[in-house]
Amino acid sequence: MTLRPYHQIILCPTRVELRAAEGTPLRDLLFEQGVEFPCGGQGRCRGCRVRVLAGKAEVNRAQQERLSAAEIAQGWRLACQCTVESDLEIELRQWDAAILVDDTPFAFRPRPGLGVAVDLGTTTLVAQLLDLTTGKVLAVSTALNAQARYGADVMSRLHFAVLGGGQQQLESLIRRQIGALVEQLLFAAGKQGAEIADVVVVGNTVMHHFFCGIAAEPLTHYPFEPAEDGMKTFTAGELGWKLAGEPKVRFLPCLGGFVGSDVLAGILAAKLTEHDDLVGLVDLGTNGEIVIGNREGLLCASTAAGPAFEGAKISMGMRASTGAISQVSVDHGALRCRIIGDGSPCGLCGSGLVDAVGAFRARREQLDALAARRPYPERHSRAAVGQGGDCGGNKAADREEGRGGTHPPLPGGRVWQLYRSQQCPEHRLDRFSAGEGRGGWQHGAAGCKARPVQPGC
Ligand code: FES
């Protein structure tokens, strides 16, 4: 038996060092580091791009189709298509992720000590260290949810937990990761070893169950009711966290099957229950929720939003990280894009996609309006409508009907029927028999393929 040589792999920018046997799929290694593979590693989405800074990684056919020659020359590869062939130093595109955080003021009751607030998202973790006396945010720490290697959305993670028997694995993974984030916060704020008074965690119902160790099976089928949706309290020690002060860690209660305490936090922060008018809150994360209501009551619905807008089903879809087109607009007839990080565009995130649809529609309406203002001969020159051609304004209809369509009303209010004929009606082809038309054919300067018909014909 021949032993395969081992190679060293360095991940940048964190300089994490790994060792792997030659031939190991890079995907397996990066999964362990929380890297996402949005299309499931099928080489379709470009979401797993890495840049080889040193060492070699072959370019297969899928990569040639998905990466430009310039990208390949610069060392970009699709990690899901590569195996370990030599020592490697690679830069992870996903670790450029810009995770949005802010320190908007909020109402709170001052008390002594330090507190930690954690938003446990399906994709992203954000933790803040707060001075509970002033409410000031002392440090922020973010990371991709390490569970993402077992599925980009909650349904695939539930599948892994319940059918794959992996719930215990997901639980220890996320508990360990949040514990490490809290330590990072203390380090970043220069408060290593300081006592923490309180830790509060929010997240969707699936994350709640995974973190708290509650059986997630009821969430996989109708009526999708959580086994337990109340607040769960632990000590730091119970979670395996070594924190001074042995703080209580509370995971706030869920609101429903797929409406978690992250929505509850949003409702409180946006003060939805203090309004007389109807107000709405939209949280378009990997799991998306919409809440509408006022002080008399609230209604909420949720769905898998991220994978729909940013994941595997959109060929250029990507998460809202560096290089994602996040806004598209039409400015004086030209399309304008905003790219997160102001670099080169790599794909479209959800907001960019929704914007792009709106912008293309607006652009089309502008073009239609322009076309309607141009004089008839210009719109239906011989080149456009004449022999062998079709009307530029009606190409779709022509294709659909295989012969022509009705053009928008022209000056004089007449409706014109256009045909994809090779000859003018005076020399009409067989299929346009003499009795076919109503209103007769017109042969004029504008071309010889249009005939006026009565509106409604
Ligand atoms: S996960 Fe590699 S291209 Fe989609």
Pocket-testing residue among 26, 30, 48, 315, ligand 1, by greatest number of atoms within 8 A of Cβ: 48
The confidence score (pLDDT) of residue 29 equals 85
- Per-residue pLDDT for 20 more than 70? yes
The percent of residues above 90 in pLDDT, for the chain, comes to: 37
The confidence score (pLDDT) of residue 104 equals 66
- How far apart CA 219 and CA 222 sit, in angstroms, is 8
- How far apart CA 295 and CA 332 sit, in angstroms, is 43
Cα 42 to ligand 1 centroid, rounded to whole Å: 6
User: 6-95, which class in CATH?
Assistant: alpha beta
Pocket-testing residue among 26, 31, 39, 61, ligand 1, by greatest number of atoms within 8 A of Cβ: 39
pLDDT tier at 102, thresholds 50, 70, 90: low
| Model confidence pLDDT, tens digit, residues 377-392 | 544 443 333 333 333 3
**Does residue 216 contact residue 162 with C-beta atoms inside 8 Å?**
yes
| Model confidence pLDDT, tens digit, residues 252-292 | 999 988 899 999 999 998 889 999 999 999 887 777 889 99
The confidence score (pLDDT) of residue 284 equals 76
- How far apart CA 185 and CA 267 sit, in angstroms, is 26
The confidence score (pLDDT) of residue 395 equals 40
User: DSSP readout, 113-128?
Assistant: SEEEEEEE-SSEEEEE
**Does residue 285 contact residue 259 with C-beta atoms inside 8 Å?**
no
- Rounded to the nearest angstrom, the gap between the alpha carbon of residue 53 and the centroid of all alpha carbons in its chain is 27
Beta bridge partners of 116: 129, 199
Cα 39 to ligand 1 centroid, rounded to whole Å: 5
- How far apart CA 93 and CA 76 sit, in angstroms, is 9
What is the atom index within ligand 1 of the atom nearest the CA of 80? 2
pTM over 0.85: no
50 lines ligand 1 (CB under 6 A): no
What is the atom index within ligand 1 of the atom nearest the CA of 66? 3
Amino acid residing at 289: E
78 lines ligand 1 (CB under 6 A): yes
Q: Between residues 293 and 16, which one has the greater pLDDT?
A: 293
- Per-residue pLDDT for 364 more than 50? yes
Highest mean pLDDT range out of 7-16, 132-141, 168-177?
168-177
The confidence score (pLDDT) of residue 46 equals 80
Phi and psi at residue 274, to the nearest 5°: -105, 0
Handedness of CA 25, 28, 29, 30 (dihedral sign): positive
- Per-residue pLDDT for 320 more than 80? no
263 lines ligand 1 (CB under 6 A): no
95 lines ligand 1 (CB under 6 A): no
**Does residue 202 contact residue 262 with C-beta atoms inside 8 Å?**
yes
252 lines ligand 1 (CB under 6 A): no
User: DSSP readout, 36-48?
Assistant: --TTSSSSSS-TT
What is the atom index within ligand 1 of the atom nearest the CA of 49? 2
User: DSSP readout, 394-430?
Assistant: GHHHHHHHSS--EEPPPTTS-EEEE---SS-GGG--T
Which residue ranges does the chain devote to CATH 3.10.20.30?
6-95
Which residue ranges does the chain devote to CATH 3.30.420.480?
114-271
The confidence score (pLDDT) of residue 184 equals 87
For the chain, what percentages of helix, strand and coil (3-state, to nearest 5) are there?
Answer: 30, 25, 45
Pocket-testing residue among 35, 45, 316, ligand 1, by greatest number of atoms within 8 A of Cβ: 45
The confidence score (pLDDT) of residue 412 equals 46
| Residues in contact with 326: Cβ distance below 8 Å, sequence separation at least 6, in sequence order | 320, 338, 339, 340, 349, 351, 352, 355
- How far apart CA 58 and CA 8 sit, in angstroms, is 17
Round the average pLDDT of the chain to a whole number and report it: 78
48 lines ligand 1 (CB under 6 A): yes
90: exposed, middle or buried (C-beta count within 10 Å: 0-12, 13-18, 19+)?
buried
Cα 89 to ligand 1 centroid, rounded to whole Å: 19
114-271 adopts what CATH topology? Nucleotidyltransferase; domain 5 (3.30.420)
- If you take atom 3 of ligand 1, which residue's CA is the nearest one? 43
What is the atom index within ligand 1 of the atom nearest the CA of 62? 3
51 lines ligand 1 (CB under 6 A): no
Pocket-testing residue among 30, 36, 44, ligand 1, by greatest number of atoms within 8 A of Cβ: 44
330 lines ligand 1 (CB under 6 A): no
Pocket-testing residue among 80, 156, 319, ligand 1, by greatest number of atoms within 8 A of Cβ: 80
The confidence score (pLDDT) of residue 388 equals 33
- Per-residue pLDDT for 431 more than 70? no
330 DSSP 8-state letter: E
| Model confidence pLDDT, tens digit, residues 64-86 | 998 989 889 989 999 999 999 99
Regarding beta strands 88-92 and 49-54, do their DSSP bridges make them parallel or antiparallel, or are they unpaired? Answer: antiparallel
Q: Between residues 111 and 341, which one has the greater pLDDT?
A: 111
Phi and psi at residue 151, to the nearest 5°: 140, 140
428 lines ligand 1 (CB under 6 A): no
311 lines ligand 1 (CB under 6 A): no
- Per-residue pLDDT for 168 more than 90? yes
